Chain A
Amino acid sequence: MTAVAGHSDVTRVGDAAHEIARTHDPRDVTDYIGACFDAGLSWVHFPEGLGGLGVSRGLQAVADSILQAAGAPDARIRNLIGYGMAAPTVCEHAQTDELKHAWLRPLATGEEVWCQLFSEPGAGSDLAGLATSAVRDGDDWVVNGQKVWTTLAHRARWALLLARTDPDAPKHKGLTYFVVDMHAPGVSTRPLRQMTGHAEFNEVYLDGVRIPDRHRLGAVGAGWRVAMTTLMNERTSIGASGSRRGEGTIADAVALWAQRPDRHSPVLRDRLAQLWLRSEVQRLTAERAHATATAEGPGPEGSIGKLVGAELNQQIYEFCMDLLGPEGTLYGDYTMREIGPESVNSGESIQQSFLRSRANTIEGGTSEVLRNVLGERMLGLPGDVRTDSGPWREVPRG
């Protein structure tokens, strides 16, 4: 992109954002966000007419800062999976522009929430080993199976589904990607209660659910490649970090330290210093990754953030529990209730955050898998001996 073209794109995005800010009332949330979609400001790098302007992704920040300053409602928080994962996948792989538009606009406004039907009781880290089947029947596919760890399934209108269409192919080759209507007959959703007492996730049962073939994303058997679009965008959204020194989880530990002077000891002080140090250096590493990614392409420093952050979160809340002593053995309220992703990070109490942090080293890639990724992709170490390269049907499961 030439400097001149880049400059005109900046102007274009800026002008569009200022126009919305001037002509729309942020209190009418759906209208406001819908106008943003129509003006191409939902995902500026998407094509025109599909919520974008076909400009560089980096210019999203230009639109966002203008809209935020004008008091615009936060569209993404209403549909996190929709914005971060569904939209890029639908935009790239849906079969027609009509479908893309029909899905993307209500996704953008939050009128239709999206969720993701990937993990299964028998397919966690080994996602490509999943067993939910989709069998062709005329113009439809008939789906049977069980999905789990589905955020927002109870609120969702649409879901991204990865299902097995060829059990005789090797596991990565027999998958196909669909969009499922969560209101279709045969879809049932049950809250999945977790150790905090809350239900942040759901189990979803698919019992003879019919999906029209035009709701297939990508070719039959190409589901794994399409899923990579979704998962790459998940990594990008999890990996983003821009906090300042002392912010984030470590702020809880430092504040609790200040609140409980009677519990101070030299041993706990050094543990807190270690946690503060690691938080700070993780922050610096994210900053370095950001500075060098633009110049030299992404390096290993960008891949370690999730692994470090997850383990650090756990260690920080373990420290908090040790600092609290007997007080930490009390709890607030185990009454079962369903919560959305917007309230996950605003823990009700240290004790609840402590329990929630156990999921950090499991969700979004277990620490064990991430260490394999670092070892194999970053260091080039050989993979483990495989016992699952034959037809999926013959791979031991359980």
Chain B
Amino acid sequence: MADQTAIRPSVDPHGADPHGADPDTPTAGGTIETPPGAEPFTFTPEHRELRAAVRRFCADTSDEATVRRLMESTPAFDPQTWSRLGRELGVLGLGVPEDLGGSGGGLVDAAIVAEEFGAALFCGPVIGTVALAIPALAAAGDSAARTETLTPLLAGDRTAAFAVRERAGRFDPGSVTVRASGSGGDHLTGIVTQVVDAGVADDLLVAASVPGGVALYVVDATATGVERTALATLDQTRPQATIRFREAPGRLLAGPDDTPRVVQRALDSGAVLLAAEQVGGAQHLLDVSVTYAKERLQFGRPIGSFQAVKHRLADMLVEVEHARSAAYYAAWAVQDGIDDPTLAASIAQATCSPAFTGAAAGAVQVHGGIGFTWEHPAHLYFKRAFTDAVLLGSAEEHRDAIATAVLADAPIEHEVMVAAG
């Protein structure tokens, strides 16, 4: 039975940064510019408690048999379990301020939850609802539409999908395929393909062209003029649907001035939480592969005693540790603004995608024949890994963005010597 106590991070009642350093604890260097608590990688006892509680919850609600049952069901998750995440554990609102009905805390807390979900291959609208829609709504300006959409999402009573195209995890107005029309400018028409978690979502966040740019709307998925086609997906635990809007009624969440910021905030948060999920999946695959390499005997020895296997697992360890560093650095960067959040998110995505796909390929290989069977769970993670790798930008797209950001202004003062013969 899962811990019935709601998981609450250590929230400062005055609304200050919940991870603020103990004022009695001296900080290294004594710098004044850095906001308190903004030192990356300073995990607290509360972080560890949160992780332990979510891990227990996943052990109870996301064992392999449950994952296999849910991934062939419609919806591909258990709404009652999802509701417990909101109402009992309070983990759907981590990183959302309490005055918006959230649980406080920060993106680091949400990343810890996403990592545990990834390790357990937890079935639910994590990407659509937690990683994208909730951060977008939290970033949007105050409105009735925002409050009325956000509150039931945080409670786990409703779910959402994010029908906004991006490019390399960046807001891309050029790729918007929906336009707003009608006298109030709030009837949406257009097609958005391959939207994760959209098939059974209750609310759809949609970017639509308006005079003067792009605006963000929320559309009730059951409204007239919304037609959804569920798609068969490589990763059955992560469904997608194509949505066709025909004069569907939308409620405005952000106008053309505000939408780029709101969408980018959602994409940055989403990239971080996706990266954390990738870390969880990759660590799980490393763990089960190491266990198997210790137990599986061939040629009279555990296969993990052979360097060909041992070194592959050592390389997986390196990639997983790098992925964890990149994901949590980005979580702190987005949470506390200690670095350019979009660059940090790109660094995380460019690192975590190949770490997870590499771990998945390695896990199948180390397990040998059994790793290729339907019966063994390796393929479930393998499919998740290759799906995650293209969500919110591929590693190649993120590297391209990183190159644009960091190679343009190379330090001229650093002259390198080239021998001229």
Contacts and interface: CB of A to CB of B under 8 A. Distances in A.
Contact of A281 (B305, B351, B414, B418): B351
A354 B290 CA distance: 36
Contact of B317 (A288, A291, A378): A378
B419 A330 contact: yes
B396 A288 contact: no
A329 B301 CA distance: 48
B401 to A, nearest CB: 9
Interface in B396-421: 396, 399-400, 402-403, 406-407, 410-412, 414-421
A349 B419 contact: yes
Contacts of B98: none
Nearest to B311: A371
B311 A348 contact: no
Contacts of B415: 255, 259
B419 A348 contact: yes
B42 to A, nearest CB: 6
B402 to A, nearest CB: 5
B50 interface: no
Nearest to B415: A255
B153 to A, nearest CB: 32
A384 B418 contact: no
Interface in B334-375: 347, 350-351
Nearest to B420: A330
B418 A270 contact: no
A252 interface: yes
B317 A277 contact: no
Interface in A220-264: 246, 251-252, 254-259
B318 interface: yes
B60 to A, nearest CB: 27
A372 B410 contact: no
Contact of B417 (A274, A300, A308, A349): A349
Given A269-B407, A291-B39, A371 B314 contact: yes
Interface residues of B, number: 50
Contacts of A272: 403, 407
Given A254-B410, A301-B325, A381-B305, A350 B418 contact: yes
Interface in A320-339: 320, 324, 327-328, 330-332
Given A251-B411, A374-B318, A381-B294, A256 B324 contact: no
A326 to B, nearest CB: 10
B310 A375 contact: yes
B411 A255 contact: yes
B43 to A, nearest CB: 7
Given A372-B310, A384-B307, A281 B317 contact: no
B111 to A, nearest CB: 14
B406 A246 contact: yes
**A interface, size bucket:** 35 or more
B322 interface: yes
A301 B321 contact: yes
A278 B301 CA distance: 35
B313 interface: yes
B416 A285 contact: no
B322 A285 contact: yes
Given A272-B407, A300-B321, A385-B305, A255 B399 contact: no
B407 A379 contact: no
B27 to A, nearest CB: 12
Given A251-B414, A281-B326, A374 B317 contact: yes
Contacts of B245: none
Contacts of B302: 381-382
Contacts, number: 167
A301 B402 CA distance: 24
A379 B317 contact: yes
Nearest to B406: A276
Contacts of B301: 382, 385
A61 to B, nearest CB: 10
Contact of B399 (A274, A351, A381): A274
A380 interface: yes
B105 interface: no
A281 B325 contact: yes
Given A255-B415, A281-B325, A304 B318 contact: yes
Contacts of A42: none
Contact of A331 (B43, B294, B400, B419): B419
Interface in B296-328: 301-302, 304-307, 310-311, 313-315, 317-318, 321-322, 324-326, 328
A374 B319 CA distance: 12
A376 interface: yes
B329 interface: yes
A351 B419 contact: yes
Nearest to A302: B321
B226 to A, nearest CB: 40
B294 A277 contact: no
Nearest to B41: A291
B255 interface: no
Contacts of A68: none
Given A300-B317, A371-B314, A288 B407 contact: no
A307 interface: yes
Contacts of B328: 288
B314 A374 contact: yes
B173 interface: no
A379 B321 contact: no
Given A272-B403, A381-B294, A280 B418 contact: no
Contacts of B324: 288, 301
A368 interface: yes
Contact of A259 (B286, B350, B400, B416): B416
Contact of B304 (A276, A349, A350, A381): A381
Contacts of B318: 304, 307-308, 374
A5 interface: no
Which 7 A-B pairs give the minimum distances between C-beta atoms?
Answer: A330-B421, A258-B410, A375-B310, A349-B419, A291-B41, A332-B419, A374-B314
12 contacts: A251-B411, A256-B418, A272-B407, A276-B406, A295-B42, A301-B321, A328-B418, A330-B421, A348-B417, A372-B307, A374-B318, A384-B307
Interface of B: 39-43, 286, 290, 293-294, 301-302, 304-307, 310-311, 313-315, 317-318, 321-322, 324-326, 328-329, 347, 350-351, 396, 399-400, 402-403, 406-407, 410-412, 414-421
